[in-house]
Structure 1
Amino acid sequence: MKIEIWSDVACPWCYIGKRRFETALAAFPHRDEVDVQWRSFQLDPSLPEHYDGTELDYLCTRKGMAPEQVAGMFEHVASLAGAEGLNYRFDAVVVANSFTAHRLIHLAAAHGKQDAAKERLLSDHFEHGRDIGSREYLTSLGLDLGIGAGELDELFSTDKYADDVQHDFAEARALGISGVPFFVIDRKFGLSGAQAPETFSAALDQAWQESHPLVMADAGAAAGADAGACGPDGCPV
């Protein structure tokens, strides 16, 4: 079973959704047969490589939100994140364009480290105040993941994986995805937002049952005289 998750590194709900989904997946009996793929999405592609201001400044000036509204939102989201074991520090968030970070995630995927890259980027952005637009930071992260310095230099000196990131954006548009996180199971089932683990569990079960329907073995023989079975009306004698 394949699960594609459209997500932005700069999306606070995406990290919460990741944790809730992981909770459901850990309890799923067929989790070893689930392939999870992270897909790129940008909430604000127009954001400069680095924004000279805080997260509060950004939302107030670029999104037109009132400071009191933003502060309340920060408190609410941080509380929900805390319930998932995450320590959001909105006052320390460095506002930066996430496009290159998405390219790094694609590079990490080529090394089998896509989820590790996604986890680190989200944690470092929301919990540790790291600059996800910084070449120095992204290089350090890549090295931590075991990616060679030469490949990382190539990533920053060329547009490698830019087409892959743009392809993810295009697929999101084609599927009608306008917000993240967004979870797509076997290209048949879609879930929008950081749903409760119980909702993810129900979706996983439904998708699995549809792709693995129960097939009766030798139904003709089962109907024979020796194939006794009890039902609501009693048992045959």
Structure 2
Amino acid sequence: MIIQVWSDYVCPFCYIGKKQLEQALETSGYAEQIEVQYKSFLLDPSTPVDTEESIYGPLAAKYNMSIEQTKAMTQNVAERAKEVGLHYDFDRMKTANTIKAHRLAKWAEEQGKGAEMNERLLQAHFLEGLAIGRMDVLITLAEEVGLNGEAAKEMLTSDEYKEEMYSDIEIARQLGVRGVPFFVIDNKYGISGAQPQHLFEETVAKAAEEAGLQRKLNMVGEQGALCEDGVCDIE
């Protein structure tokens, strides 16, 4: 079974939603039989590249708020993030053009490091305040998940993976996706946004049962005496 997730690396609810999905998979008993595919989405491709600007100014302008009102708004989001074990640091966060980040994630996926790269990019932006629009930062993050830095730099200085990134965005448009995170579960169910946890758990379980997946056993008690490989515990 496949779950597709459209998200952007500067979307605070995308990281929250990711953790909710991971928790739902863990509790479902089907996690090992479900593949999660992360798809690209650009909230604001016009954001300047290599900027080190705080997120407060652009957010205040976007929502026509004062800086103080903007900080209060982000504090509410930070409290929501704590519910899934994330400790956002909005004071350190920087605006970022995420086109290169998405391309890097696409490349990392082909190297077998897609999940690790996706998580590292979100962590870098929301928890560490790193400027994930900058090439030098992206190269360092790639190296941290075990990828070759020179190869990452060569890819980022080209136009590789732009087509794949924009293909994801076009599919989202066709699905009617207007915002992220957006989850498509087994091509049957859609979840828009970071919804209540029980909705993720119920939908994952329902889709898995309909797909005929075998639920992982919930083991009870400690391991007792047994025989295996022709040897029995007799002490």
Q: Sort the TM-score into its range (normalised by shorter chain).
A: 0.7 to 0.9
2:45 matched residue in structure 1: 45
* Other-structure match for 1:19: 19
How many aligned positions are there?
214
Preserved CA contact (<8 Å) 1:182 1:190: yes
RMSD, matched Cα: 1.7
TM superposition shift of 1:52: 5.7
Matches within 5 A, 1:77-226: 77-212=77-212
Deviations 1:165-219 (A, max 9, x none): 10011011010001111100121110011122211111012112222299xxxxx
Quote how far apart the aligned CAs of 1:72 are: 1.9
TM-score, normalising length: structure 1: 0.85
Among the aligned pairs, what percent are the same residue? 39
Deviation at residue 48 of structure 1 after TM alignment:
1.4
Q: In terms of mean alpha carbon deviation, does 198-207 or 149-158 score higher?
A: 149-158
Letter of the 1:12 counterpart: P
Partner of 2:228: none
Q: Which runs of 5+ in 1 are unaligned?
A: 215-237
Q: Distance in 2 between matches of 1:10 and 1:124?
A: 10
Shift of 1:25: 0.6
CA pair 148-213 structure 1, distance change in 2 beyond 3 A: closer
1:110: Cα distance to partner? 0.6
* Contact preservation (8 Å) 2:52, 2:94: no
Offset of 1:66 from its aligned partner?
A: 3.7
Native 8 Å contact 1:154 1:160 kept in 2: no
Please report how far the alpha carbon of residue 149 of structure 1 lies from its aligned counterpart in structure 2 after TM superposition: 3.2
TM-score (norm 2): 0.86
Larger mean CA deviation between 69-78 and 184-193 belongs to 69-78
Shift of 1:61: 2.2
1:71 partner amino acid: K
Any idea what SS the aligned residue of 1:87 has? Answer: coil
How many Å apart are 1:84 and its aligned residue?
A: 1.6
How far apart, CA to CA, are the structure 1 residues paired with 2:199 and 2:53? 37
